[in-house]
Structure 1
Amino acid sequence: MNDEHSRALYDRALSVMPGGVNSAVRAAIEPYPFFVQKGDGGHVIDADGNRYVDWVLGLGPLLLGHDLPEQVRAEVQRTASEGPMYGAPTEIEVDLAEFVVRHVPSVEKIRFVNSGTEATTSAVRLARGHTGRNKIVVMQGGYHGAQETTLVEGDADDPKPSSAGIPQSFAEHTIPVPFNDEDAMRAAFEEHGDDIAAVLTEPILGNYGIVYPEEGYHEFLREITDEHGSLLIFDEVITGFRVGGLGCAQSKFGVTPDLTTFGKIVGGGFPVGAIGGKAEIMEGFTPAGDVFQAGTFSGHPVTMAAGLETLKFAAENDVYDHVNGLGDRLRRGLTDIVADQAPNYTVTGTDSMFKVIFTREGPAPSSLEEQCPAGCRQDPTCPRYDYSPKNAADVKNADTDRWRRIFWGEMKEQGVFLSQNQFECQFVSYAHTEADVEETLEAYKEAL
């Protein structure tokens, strides 16, 4: 493929942007990323005219794909034509809030913000204000945006900042534990229970290769936080309105958190974040309470219109049947390919999320009969159970260099755009087709 224009654009970008990008993951591919000119349904077309099946979808927000249905497009255009923003409330904010409250089990009230990072930052502040406590338990490798509380690595005994610019004193209030490890969580509460404001977790680790929870894990988190008077926060920035449909992942797993953070799909492809939860907790935000939260662009009318019309379209059409059906077909096809060509690897994902993790620890199972057929479910009866990733460390130990340096480029050459590293998940949209799935499966066969 010719990529001369992308190369020239990246050369220009390096002169005026740190690393040539506005978000670090975009530069993960070496020697340079391709630049997108436009989207087309379930595809993107780059600056050199190359066309790719797009399974990145803006890192998740585009449930409907790049071509918005007419009713969504018309409402976005109408709202934009009336004025960009006002610094005053609009009816569309209330409409979207009412829709979310009706459909998401944990949400009695909601506050809209401008990004997933802003949502999780505000949720952590609210949890601390509500409980009068300081410490936040997070999952190692879980991602909750570019904020000081969660940019922390290490373990419960030795937390430290994972980025320059964050004081060690900040990290001391964060307790990282492995996902799916009940013993580690119990130990954290035994040591710090009186000062733990909240446990913050993604229902499914979605920024570290897609790691499914063990059966009963979320129920355990609900019980231990209740026992110690701490809050349970689900970060559904990725899974919200994608896993579990309009009820989100919490409805799929049947566990209701105290607070939920949103982003991506709830804004219909425009910049957005939100915090929702029990009314008595949410009333802690100013002006009702004492926890300061504000933003010039919060509840932006164009974003609110895009989010509401996207969710209404999903509710009134076969969106979830379509995307989940294609996701299942992808994962089943990948499971067959991996069993034949790379039996050490693990197919992960659920609903409209999918990924192949290049796991490499230990020999492959002697038999793959009766394995999870459409993505790892942490099923103890599955022959791959002992080999599949249970937490972020397991994913980190996979062959990440092969993914980035060899596999991603081979898929790109075949016209398939996958997430830029092994940690980011991939998504299906309403605009994708069975033909896109078959083309992608054939590319996997060739690349693996």
Structure 2
Amino acid sequence: MNHERSRELYDRALSVSPGGVNSSVRATMPHPFFIERGDGGHVIDADGNRYVDWVMGYGPLLYGHDLPDSVESAVQSHAAAGPMYGAPTEVEVEHAEFVARHVPSVESIRFVNSGTEATVSAVRLARGHTDRDKIVVMRGGYHGAQESTLVEGSPENPRPSTKGIPGEFAKHTLPIPFNDPRAAKEVFAEHGDDIAAVLVEPILANTGIVMPVDGYHETLRDLCDDHGALLVFDEVITGFRVGGLGCAQSKFGVTPDVTTFGKIIGGGFPVGAIGGKAEIIEEFTPAGGVFQSGTFSGHPVTMAAGKATLEYAAENDVYEHVNRLGRKLREGIADVCAERAPEYTVVGTDSMFKTVFTRETPADTTDSCADGCRQDADCGRYDTCPKTGADVAAAETDRWERVFWQEMKDRGVFLTANQFECQFTSYAHTEADVEKTLAAYREAI
């Protein structure tokens, strides 16, 4: 493939943007390819190269790059009416009503502008509601670029995971391993009276896709109830992708007090949201005393896109299609790995998929979870499959980024550029896209 035009654009970008990109995950080696346009389940770069796109904007594009007519019409009609108003519109009320009807935890919802803004606001809300300061997070979980969650270490020694965050901020965050009920019980035994909330992704979706072990979320629910803390599910990635319109919380049968959203809830436009019990969400100003506001919150074009996106999914076979392709990919990749790299672990659920380049080959590979790791204690891989963010970080992360991603790109398949970010199927993808990707896998692994 020729990448001359992308190389020229990257050279120009380096002069005006840090690292030549506006989001660090886009800084691929030796340089990113610059996208010119999307086409269904594909993207075409500035040099005219076509790729099957499994990145899907890192999750928001449930329909790929071609919107259903009803979604496109809703976007165009609201854009034509004016950019924004600084006042409420009917469509944001209708969108809120739709979400509240379908998501178990949501009685009331506040729309914001990004997943990060949603989790920042949810943390402030939890602290205001409980009059406590400490937040429990999962190591390897991701909740956006915010000070309260860019923290690593242990409950006894929390520390910022990036420069620019004062150590005094980190002391209010208690990082524990995902899927470790004992660690959760211990942190509540030590700090229960000071914990405002547990902030957790239902699935670690930004660290290789790690499913919860049986009963883990129920343990968190019970601990929060016993100690007067809030259980906050971060469904920015899983929301309206895992579990259909009921989100991952409906799939797992555990209802949080508060849920954060992003990505699909805005139909591909910038968005975030915080939903939950009315008595909690209504502590946001002006109804309550927890300040939250934003110039572009409830933007009419975003609200129209999000509402039309979810309505179309409710009326058509969207989830059947994307989940079937996700399953076909996971099963096909598992077959390839069984032959060529039996140590690797295929992960994912519904329309999410990934391959974690784990290092240890299980003693028994004949009875594995064919449709992606399910944390099944009876599975032959159970003792070696990733259960925490640290397990994924211990995989061959450089091999994915430096070798495998490059090989797949050269074969016309666009995957997320590191071992950690997950990949997604869309309503625009086809069986042919799956077969092309599996053929590339066979050559690249």
1 CA distance for matches of 2:364 and 2:174? Answer: 39
Q: Give the aligned residue type for 1:444.
A: Y
Residue matched to 1:226: 225
2 CA distance for matches of 1:253 and 1:48? Answer: 44
Q: Give the aligned residue type for 2:444.
A: A
Residue matched to 1:423: 420
Residue matched to 2:134: 135
* Correspondence 1:385 to 2:389: no
Residue matched to 2:400: 403
TM-superposed deviation, 1:366: 3.3
Runs of 4 or more above 3 Å deviation: none
The alignment's TM-score, normalised by the length of structure 2, stands at: 1.00
- SS for the counterpart of 1:222 is helix
| CA displacement 1:55-99 (0-9 Å, x = unmatched) | 000000000110001111011001000000000000000010000
Q: Give the aligned residue type for 2:376.
A: D
| CA displacement 1:97-133 (0-9 Å, x = unmatched) | 0000000000000000000000000000000000000
Q: Give the aligned residue type for 1:268.
A: G
Residue matched to 2:305: 306
Residue matched to 2:369: 372
Map 1:39-188 onto structure 2 (within 5 A).
39-188=38-187
Residue matched to 1:14: 14
Percent identical: 73
TM-superposed deviation, 1:367: 2.9
2 CA distance for matches of 1:351 and 1:103? Answer: 18
2 CA distance for matches of 1:369 and 1:262? Answer: 38
- SS for the counterpart of 1:322 is helix
| CA displacement 1:336-362 (0-9 Å, x = unmatched) | 11111100000000000000000003x
Q: Give the aligned residue type for 1:419.
A: T
1 CA distance for matches of 2:362 and 2:58? Answer: 33
* Correspondence 1:263 to 2:262: yes
- SS for the counterpart of 2:117 is helix
2 CA distance for matches of 1:377 and 1:105? Answer: 23
TM-superposed deviation, 1:365: 2.4
Q: How many residue pairs were aligned?
A: 445
TM-superposed deviation, 1:30: 1.0
| CA displacement 1:162-203 (0-9 Å, x = unmatched) | 111100000000000000001111111111100000000000
Q: Give the aligned residue type for 2:22.
A: N
Residue matched to 1:3: 3
1 CA distance for matches of 2:228 and 2:362? Answer: 43
- SS for the counterpart of 2:302 is helix
Residue matched to 1:436: 433
2 CA distance for matches of 1:185 and 1:301? Answer: 41
Map 1:200-215 onto structure 2 (within 5 A).
200-215=199-214
- SS for the counterpart of 1:284 is coil
Segments of 5+ residues of structure 2 without an aligned counterpart are none
- SS for the counterpart of 1:67 is coil
- SS for the counterpart of 1:138 is strand
2 CA distance for matches of 1:298 and 1:420? Answer: 31
Residue matched to 2:411: 414
2 CA distance for matches of 1:311 and 1:211? Answer: 26
